[in-house]
Amino acid sequence: MGRIADCFARLNAEGRKAFVSYTMGGDPDYATSLEVIKGLPGAGVDIIELGLPFTDPMADGETIQLAGQRALAGGQTLKKTLQMVRDFRAGDDTTPIVMMGYYNPIYNHGVDAFLDDAKEAGIDGLIVVDLPPEEDDELCLPALAKGIDFIRLATPTTDDARLPKVLQNTSGFVYYVSITGITGAAAPQPSDVAPEVARIKAKTDLPVIVGFGIRTPEMAKGIAEIADGCVVGSAIVAEMANGKSRDAVLDFVRGLAEGAHSA
């Protein structure tokens, strides 16, 4: 098993839900971003989602768009994001890292070269939001062949006819987008999310992790109670955008993780 499967096996054995955090690689600069990422496991993060900055992040709200712009302005690139993973792996060979982003930078790097570099750096999974299942030959299947999980998003508009296609080559976990819209746009309600999670879990043995709009420990607990875990991104990125210190950001993350783990 890879790191993601190992992580969920351990959490299941401990009777705990997963807490997944998102940060944008290179925001506000390489050194600060790396130091925050290094501190995430100690703050209770089970899986790290590392954002790959891109000029046209269509699925992201203003908070993450601005984070990407700051990272790009600071010189962050795909190669530097992979180096960030290598630097992290020098001290942590256990915590799963999922790179989340868009296909254009990967395509420009070259798919085969990217997958080789990602595997060597220590990337465990990919979330590429602008590649639908119909394009699995482009990146999904080659990634799976290299032992890199390809994590697919399901949304409130993914109906029963579409769901099998979405799940077809998904591995690692299923990321359920709790609201219709962009990241950080609204707060999810567990009563609305629960039947959707149950519908997905009836069709797959993969863990279902819920994200978008979770901002507080209470919300993290409420969502984790009805899923296999939760993701927080925009709220953490906003703390960094507000100039909070590394320790203050990690304290904020710790509270969210404790909320999810108390579910």
Is the confidence at residue 79, as pLDDT, over 80?
yes
pLDDT-derived band at 60 (thresholds 50, 70, 90) equals confident
pLDDT-derived band at 180 (thresholds 50, 70, 90) equals low
Is the confidence at residue 188, as pLDDT, over 80?
no
Query: What pLDDT sits at residue 59?
Result: 79
pLDDT-derived band at 185 (thresholds 50, 70, 90) equals low
Domain count, the chain: 1
Is the confidence at residue 181, as pLDDT, over 70?
no
Q: Write out pLDDT tens, residues 207-220.
A: 999 998 899 999 99
Is the confidence at residue 239, as pLDDT, over 70?
yes
Query: What pLDDT sits at residue 228?
Result: 98
Rounded mean pLDDT, 255-263: 97
Residues taking part in catalysis:
49, 60
Mean pLDDT (the chain, rounded): 95
Range of the domain at 137: 3-261
Q: Write out pLDDT tens, residues 135-157.
A: 999 999 999 999 999 999 999 99
- Kindly report the CATH number assigned to the domain that includes residue 175: 3.20.20.70
How much of the chain, in percent, has pLDDT values that exceed 70?
Answer: 97
| C-alpha–C-alpha distance, residues 178 and 71, integer Å | 27
Query: What pLDDT sits at residue 246?
Result: 96
Rounded mean pLDDT, 84-101: 98
